[in-house]
């Protein structure tokens, strides 16, 4: 339990701290206004700052190890996918090249069977 004298001292300290905080807020506000004035004189605005911050953040991200590893992995996967699609396309082209037309049927080599073909239109 606090004595009456201790309560009065704490209340006085509380008032003093609140006054100091108010003063510090006023000083901070004045400095922020001064900062804005200087930036305006230098031609700096919010959009330029955002661009600079974005560019810096993007550069910082690209230099991280995680980004580099992910980039390498995705690049490698893309190369493999490209090669796979190329191989599929080549195989399909070869298969069509191996087909021969015999009247109404299209015969596939090596026991691949045959497809019925409409005399006017070919449907694959």
**Contact by Cβ (8 Å): 86, 70:** no
Q: Tokens 């409409």 identify what position?
A: 118
Percent of the chain exceeding pLDDT 70 equals 76
Report pTM: 0.38
User: pLDDT digit string (tens) for 66-120?
Assistant: 888 888 898 888 888 888 888 887 877 776 666 555 555 555 555 555 555 545 4
**Contact by Cβ (8 Å): 45, 38:** no
- Please, what is the Cα angle at 123 between 118 and 124, to 5 degrees? 135
**What whole-number distance in Å separates Cα of residue 31 and Cα of residue 37?**
10
**What whole-number distance in Å separates Cα of residue 47 and Cα of residue 70?**
31
């Amino acid at each position: 339990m606090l004595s009456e004298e201790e309560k009065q001292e704490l209340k006085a300290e509380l008032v003093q701290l609140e006054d100091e905080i108010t003063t510090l807020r006023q000083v901070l506000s004045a400095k922020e206004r001064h900062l804005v004035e200087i930036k305006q004189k230098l031609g700096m605005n919010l959009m330029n700052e955002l661009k600079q911050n974005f560019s810096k953040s993007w550069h910082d991200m690209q230099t991280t190890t995680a980004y580099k590893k992910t980039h390498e992995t995705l690049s490698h996967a893309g190369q493999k996918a490209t090669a796979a699609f190329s191989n599929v396309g080549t195989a399909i082209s070869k298969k069509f090249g191996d087909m021969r037309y015999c009247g109404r049927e299209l015969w596939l080599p090596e026991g691949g069977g045959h497809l019925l073909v409409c005399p006017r239109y070919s449907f694959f």
